[in-house]
Amino acid sequence: MIPKRLGWIPGGILLALLLWFTFSTYGADRPIGASTGIAYMGAWLFGLQTSEYGKHIANSGSWETFFLIGVLIGGFFTSVFITKTFKFRILPPLWKKHKNSSPASRLFWSFVGGFLVVFGARLAGGCTSGHFLSGASQTAVSGLIFGGVAIVVLLITGRLFYKNL
Amino acid sequence: MHLNLDIVGFFQHTIDLVHKQNHGPIWLIVLIGILFGVIIQWTRVDTFDKIAGFAMLRGFKVPKMLFFTIGIASIGLYFMIKLGYAHYHIKPIMVGGLVIGGVLFAIGMAILGLCPGTGPVAVSEGNIDVLAGLIGGLIAGGVFTYLYPDLKAIMGPDLGKATLAQLVGHDWFIFVYGVALIIIAFLLPSREIEEEVGEV
């Protein structure tokens, strides 16, 4: 019987195994990352792939594009067949409880949030995958600085942006 | 300004770029992505409620899993690299970029409730709001690329590619580091948010 949910312990072990495989010379011989892939696609969308930064991220960005295609496939099939959570929806329950009940507001803020996440990740040179998972697992000082700043600001923003806490 | 929607050209060029690197064939990269998507979706850490829920200190599954993963992964990775089965891939310490970027990233993450790796998983299970976030992210990628020549000035200074393990220089450090992270994962409250399904 396949469990419908995975706890943080089995989830963490599986994610560590995947990270080892990806790093190993038998796997991809590189870290896991996601934000460069999104920036790469964004640069293409605006025809900027031959600009200075477009060339700078071409290798990582192309790799992460296929990684993200896999992520979409894996997430979709798991949500349909294992966790049975696939559903079109806009308002997360916790947003309704601590922000508002307006789908338009949620869509607007999601757009703003998504913009900040990718813009910030590109300034920092990585995101949760690149700096946290891959960076901190190598004890990289850059990943630890990013992780420290991000956790503190995440908690402050959560405190200030949401209500009824 | 016009949008470049030549998808065939995009994939031809992208496949070509991947073939020129020694980081695995396309099928393997997609497989790594699939496994990542399965793990993230199966644990449900791809939800607004779990990630923004941590920002509100309502649930701790995300930091517990993150610290636990890094704790285990760091010890194994250290010896894999030492024995030649993997290499270091260290990002530079760009002080300005890390601090300003970290601040913007975390503000966005608390509001969107997702990040670049978990966001696509949330989109794949039907979250239309996160799709709006992904569109915002793609535009941010374009804007950042456009502004990069001017932004470079605030991203430095570059203090090199140090790791704590190399700075300490002894094998025991990686056990202290890894075990400390695993202990933090267990010490964080086990409080979880009751799972509900969102609405349209």
Q: Provide ipTM, 2 decimals.
A: 0.97
For chain A positions 6-65, those within 8 Å of chain B (CB to CB) are: 6-9, 11-16, 18-32, 34-35, 37-49, 51-54, 56-59, 62-63, 65
Give the model's pLDDT for residue B200. Answer: 46
Nearest chain B CA: its distance from A23 CA (Å) = 6
- Percent of chain B past pLDDT 70, that is, above it, reads 96
Note the pLDDT of residue A1.
80
Q: 3-state class of A2 per DSSP?
A: coil
- Residues A78, A62: Cα–Cα separation, whole Å: 25
Position A2 scores a pLDDT of 87
Specify the pTM: 0.96
More confident residue, B127 or B196: B127
Q: Quick check: B182 pLDDT over 50?
A: yes
Contact criterion met (CB < 8 Å) for B124 and A165: no
**Any chain A CB within 8 A of the CB of B72?**
yes
What is the chain A residue with the closest CA to B20? A59
Give the count of beta carbons closer than 10 Å to the beta carbon of residue B84: 8
The mean of the pLDDT values for chain A is 96
The verdict on A110 touching B (C-beta cutoff 8 Å) is yes
**Separation CA A88–CA A76 (nearest Å):** 12
**Average confidence (pLDDT) over A25-37:** 96
Instruction: Find out whether the peptide bond into B92 is cis, omega within 30 degrees of 0.
Output: no
pLDDT digits (tens, 9 = 90+) for A64-118: 999 999 999 999 999 999 999 999 999 999 999 999 999 999 999 999 999 999 9
Tokens 């923004």 sit on residue: B52
> Is residue B198's pLDDT more than 80?
no
Residues in chain A closer than 8 A to B19 (CB atoms):
none
Q: Measured between CB atoms, does B185 come within 8 Å of chain A?
A: yes
pLDDT(B195) > 70: no
pLDDT band at B193 (very low <50, low <70, confident <90, very high): confident
